[in-house]
Structure 1
Amino acid sequence: MTTGTSDVTVTQDCIARFQDLKLAKKYTYILYKLSEDKTQVVVDKASTSSKYEEFTSDLPDAECRFAVYDLPYEEDGAKRNKITFVSWAPDEVDTKERKPYIVAKNALRKKLVGVMAEIQCEDLPGVSYDSVVEAVRKQREQ
């Protein structure tokens, strides 16, 4: 696989489910993965669960994923939501397995118009609710 984003396509289902999350609030989070041949980004799971712990338990221990989470949090006494893009690449994943996800990330991000924050996580502490909220707040300040 070369390094151009033209090598990886994003299925229409990925975009449709994102629109359902963003506009219809049909889902709380969506997990994306690469197809077996590493040529397409596909939906791995779309969930309506409001339990953040379920989201983190759905992230595989030794595989990369992308996720979009409609993150609820409080700031200055007001309830807010930010659609957050998560790149999940656990430390256990070797470079050979990570590389196709690095290439696919740009292709997917270009299709997900409306993402308000983006984070990269390599372990469960990095994707904890408090860590993600803190990262979203920092990005908002920039």
Structure 2
Amino acid sequence: MALLRSYSNASSGMGVADHCKDTFLDLQRKKTHRYVIFKINEKQKEVVVEKTGGPAESYDDFMASLPENDCRYAVYDFDFVTDENCQKSKIFFIAWSPSVSRIRAKMLYATSKDRFRRELDGIHYEIQATDPSEMDLEVLRDRAH
């Protein structure tokens, strides 16, 4: 329990590297990224950018970039066409926590998520996934419409 307590205190929780916000703004405003994957650097006690995907990358490319056995945060810029034939874009925050990842990692990502997400202004939807099926493209499509 001591481990959980030490990470639940917001002031001693994870920091957020400045480039996380800058990279998110590039995705949000400039559309230079289709997605951004963030990881917690446990030694530096901060969230950092692990990978970005270019605007032409697909959702499959994004899914393939997430580790099968470790947690990550991600944002994905989902483009779609409405029933009225309008082109729209919604930004999804995805908390990826596969059931096979280490308990310590799951706790760390769970207790740091809200604080990190607050740093990213302009998220439309949040998905928490422990299995790829929970963040299937259809799930995003249903949420965005």
Q: Give the TM-score, by structure 1 length.
A: 0.89
Q: Residue deviations 1:89-137, cap 9 Å, x none?
A: 0111243220110122112111100111111111111121112222334
Aligned match of 1:110 in 84, 105, 118?
118
Q: Residue deviations 1:6-60, cap 9 Å, x none?
A: 2211000100000111111111100000003261000010110431100000010
Query: Alignment RMSD, CA only?
Result: 1.4
Aligned match of 2:10 in 5, 22, 30?
5
Contact 1:69 1:85 in 2 (8 A): yes
1:131 aligned residue: 139
Aligned match of 2:74 in 46, 52, 67?
67
Trace 1:1-142 onto structure 2 (pairs within 5 A). 1-6=6-11, 7-37=13-43, 39-48=45-54, 49-76=56-83, 77-137=85-145
Give the percent of matched residue pairs that are identical in Structure 1 and Structure 2. 28
Contact 2:7 2:112 in 1 (8 A): no
Contact 1:33 1:64 in 2 (8 A): yes
Q: Give the TM-score, by structure 2 length.
A: 0.88
Partners in 2 of 1:2 and 1:90 — Cα distance?
A: 20
Contact 2:70 2:102 in 1 (8 A): no
Structure 1 alignment gaps of length 5 or more: 138-142
Paired positions, count: 137
Displacement of 1:79 after TM fit?
Answer: 2.2
Structure 1 residue matching 2:26: 3-state secondary structure: helix
Partners in 2 of 1:38 and 1:124 — Cα distance?
A: 29
Q: Residue deviations 1:63-104, cap 9 Å, x none?
A: 000000111122213221101100000111243220110122
Look up the equivalent residue of 2:57 and give its one-letter code.
S
Structure 2 alignment gaps of length 5 or more: 1-5
